[in-house]
Homo-oligomer: A and B are copies of this chain.
Amino acid sequence: MNTDPTKSNPDIYKVIFENERVRVLEYKDKPGQKTTPHNHPDSVMYTLSEFDRKLILEDKEITVHKTAGEVSWLDAQKHIGENIGSTDTHVVFVELKEPSPKTP
């Protein structure tokens, strides 16, 4: 299964910019929507809406509440995301294409 989110969930993950160093994704969903398992490289996330979300990672499950205008860092990871609130999720991801310098 392809776990690039633009391939696994192309209805909600769109590439809005790409060059040799970064890829920028826009993510939009509705309450109740749930992704399939997908991978993110090291990424910056910037929120454009307020939302509630469950993230099912390989070893744990977490819930997050975000408001618009928040910046978060995602270490490279595989997860399933689910909109568990009553508002749309709208987020931009800046994915770093180069491997982390701390990766052996």
Residues of A within 8 A of B (CB): 16-17, 19-22, 24, 42, 44, 46, 71-73, 92, 94, 96, 98, 100-102
Contact = CB atoms under 8 A, between A and B. Distances in A.
Contacts of A100: 21
A97 to B, nearest CB: 9
A73 B42 contact: no
A24 B22 CA distance: 14
Contacts of A92: 46, 71
B96 A22 contact: yes
Nearest to A102: B20
Contacts of A44: 17, 22, 24, 94
B19 A71 contact: no
Contacts of A72: 17
5 tightest Cβ-Cβ pairs between the two chains A and B: A17-B71, A94-B94, A24-B71, A44-B94, A16-B71
9 contacts: A17-B72, A20-B101, A21-B42, A21-B96, A22-B73, A24-B71, A46-B46, A46-B92, A46-B94
